[in-house]
A and B are shown apart, each in its own frame.
Chain A
Amino acid sequence: MVDKVSIWEALGFRKASGVGEAGWGYTLIVAIVSFIYFIPVLMIIFMAIKPQDVALSVPPTLSPTSLFGLIPDAYVFSPTLENFTSVFSRSMTAGGAPEDTGFDRYFFNSIVIATVSVMLALVIGTLAAFGFSRYPLKGNDTYLFIILTTRMLPAIVVIIPVILMFRVAGLSGSYIGIILLYTAFNLAFTIWMMKSFFDELSLDVEDAARIDGSSEIKVFFKICLPQVVAGLAATFVFGLILTWNEFLFALLLSGTDTRTVPVAMNQAVSSGGRGTDWTLLAAIETLFLIPVFLVTFFLQNHLLRGVTFGTVKR
């Protein structure tokens, strides 16, 4: 018996389930709906490669190519990479020499802050979740509920005490401050997610490991953790997306050195008194998309398994 492995499967794409492939009709409907979903992203990417002068032209230019004459010339723009260079370096005053915008720094900040805080939350949260799942306290659910209360209020409400605390502790504007804050916020989510994954595991397997001589530490690292890799990946990606896009806390609590991209983006397009520079904004957004896009893409197999974990009885 030879299993046929298509090139897509070999590349790590999900294998179609055995129920039967959809016909062309359904596939087409899904393709159209997906495309509609994707239009805003596509518009941003096109905007990022448009020359500045046609950004707001009426009628709008729709495509960088004429698709072999399919699209009339009036709707076609000639693509350029100029906007991307001006993300990192552009003249700040009319006719002035190009200056460094500091965006390389902001991208670095965003990557470091998001990655470190999500990883920290993952490490602490996974250990905590295992504790909550396997060694329940008296009134276990109460503690879990309290943990979640930080996510029940809108961020704008929580921000006031947080700013006060940061000012007293002298954490405002520092990397440690913003990383700790994001870690705390991701923790709630991580603990709840990971607890549900641990709850699904068979306790017999852990008992078997104990009888076979594993210490509790080994039971956790060698037996439990490998079984929740999908859950770790899913939690990591969701946490990363939430943190990556976070604006409000970053705006109020980061300093000039620790500014993240969403904050810098806001300032880049609204300063200078020349109105909104749409192509610049689109270029920043496009660059901003890439890291999350890559992470999600490489973890998507785990992601799908992680999200549907436990919904089907195996």
Chain B
Amino acid sequence: MSTIEIKKVTKRFGDFTAVKDADLSVGPGEVVCLLGPSGCGKTTTLRMIAGLERATSGDVIIAGQRMNDLSPQKRDIAMVFQFYALYPALSVGQNIAMPLHYEKLSKDETDKRVMNVARIMHLTDVLDRMPGQISEGEKQRLAVARAIVRDPNCFLFDEPLSRLDVELRHSMRGQIKEVLTGLSKATVIVTHDQLEALTMANRIAIMRDGLIEQVGTPHEVFAKPANVFVASFIGTPQMNLVEADLKSFGNGKAAVRLAGNDIEIAADPAVSRLKPSKVTVGIRPRAFTAASEKSGDTIAAQAELIEPMGAETLIHARTSAGGEIRVVIPREMKVKIGEAMHLRPDPKQTHFFGEDGKAVRA
């Protein structure tokens, strides 16, 4: 079975802890993205799965077998590197054939497999060229081709698309997803691009400072972020995270003082457990509706900066308390700079985070 499992994996470099107690399991055919800002330990985690780094403690289990002490050669995995790591002294065809050398195939069989993969990745025209003579997109496809030519336990991708320009990235994302779907192997993709993660992954693991903050489907991490960090990291434009005073809770509604407004808003029953305290309220920019006049559940703000984004318009609005709120409104709605707005947050898309930064949810 093609599975990857890591249990309580920790990696320390001297005094620095790069990864701390990471738990993750990837099932057969599942694609999991490790997502996080640079330096959060996601690449280190991937390299520990590959065997290029030894875990300081914890277990790395691939295909049901504990592989902590096995060298990368013996783990039977395929990996695509961020900078492709093509063999500069070998031609494109030889690059693809390289992983096959260790399966002791006949020359005919090797050629057949290479041609097959080259056809899938559209590399048949450049098989005789050297890696230095092909385009960036072709290099990327070659790196993927070299990984899928074998039938390994699992696939690992380290920032596979980061070197491509926007257009290529878009088409490669689709191609890689298609190829991965056909292979149905456990796959881990490291990326710092949330769009990449949201589109390619079955599940996303969000990392920060060596810790896995949340693991969930793209829908889950977007709709139910576990804490303030995940809430701010996923989604563009960024979620509004506003400091607020929780005053009371009754009838399923929380009374909060938020950005200079006293409002009542329907909230998760779990919020009732909180005593009156400081909370952080998270509202996505697309979760506002503009009301025509002030009422008990609207936030007053003044439009300060207007960024048309095509189908929608992003408005940076200033609240009476001085904070900034990002609001996305449909293109048809016209707002002028300086105009007073009354913003009604959708209670279903409003998140409460306690003082520890964790989401308060039933």
A-side interface residues toward B, CB under 8 Å? 202, 204-205, 207-215, 222-223, 226-227
Contacts and interface: CB of A to CB of B under 8 A. Distances in A.
B322 interface: no
Nearest to A205: B85
Contacts of A210: 51-52, 71-73
Nearest to A204: B85
20 contacts: A204-B81, A204-B83, A204-B85, A207-B52, A207-B72, A208-B86, A208-B146, A211-B73, A211-B77, A212-B78, A212-B98, A212-B99, A212-B146, A213-B101, A214-B73, A214-B98, A215-B73, A226-B90, A227-B88, A227-B89
B13 to A, nearest CB: 15
Contacts of A226: 88-90
Contacts of A204: 81-83, 85
Nearest to A207: B52
Interface string B54-85: 00000000000000000111010111011101
B91 to A, nearest CB: 12
Nearest to B158: A204
Contacts of A222: 87
A207 B85 contact: yes
B87 A223 contact: yes
Contacts of A205: 85-88
B3 to A, nearest CB: 18
Nearest to B146: A212
The 10 closest A-B pairs by CB, nearest first: A226-B89, A213-B102, A204-B85, A208-B85, A212-B99, A210-B72, A205-B85, A204-B81, A211-B72, A211-B79
B117 interface: no
B325 to A, nearest CB: 44
B50 interface: yes
A211 B51 CA distance: 8
Contacts of B51: 210-211
Decide if the interface of chain B is mainly helix, strand, loop or mixed.
Answer: loop
A228 to B, nearest CB: 10
Decide if the interface of chain A is mainly helix, strand, loop or mixed.
Answer: helix
Given A214-B73, A215-B73, A209 B98 contact: yes
Contacts of B98: 209, 212, 214
Interface of B: 50-52, 71-73, 75, 77-79, 81-83, 85-90, 98-99, 101-102, 146
Contact of B78 (A202, A207, A211, A215): A211
A202 B51 CA distance: 18
Contacts of A223: 87, 89
A213 B99 contact: yes
A220 to B, nearest CB: 13
A209 B99 CA distance: 8
Contacts of A214: 73, 98, 102
Contacts of B102: 212-214
Nearest to B52: A207
Nearest to B143: A208
Question: Among the interface residues A205, A210, A213, which one has the most CB atoms of the partner chain B within 10 A?
Answer: A213
A146 to B, nearest CB: 26
Contacts of B75: 211
Contacts of A207: 50, 52, 72, 79, 81, 85
A30 B72 CA distance: 54
Given A205-B88, A207-B85, A227-B88, 20 more contacts: A202-B85, A204-B85, A207-B81, A208-B86, A208-B146, A209-B87, A210-B73, A211-B52, A211-B73, A211-B75, A211-B79, A212-B146, A213-B73, A214-B73, A214-B98, A222-B87, A223-B87, A223-B89, A226-B90, A227-B89
B287 to A, nearest CB: 42
B50 to A, nearest CB: 6
A228 B358 CA distance: 53
Contacts of A211: 50-52, 72-73, 75, 77-79
A223 B86 CA distance: 10
A46 B149 CA distance: 64
Contacts of B90: 226
Contact of B79 (A202, A208, A215, A227): A208
A185 B102 CA distance: 40
Contact of A208 (B81, B89, B101): B81
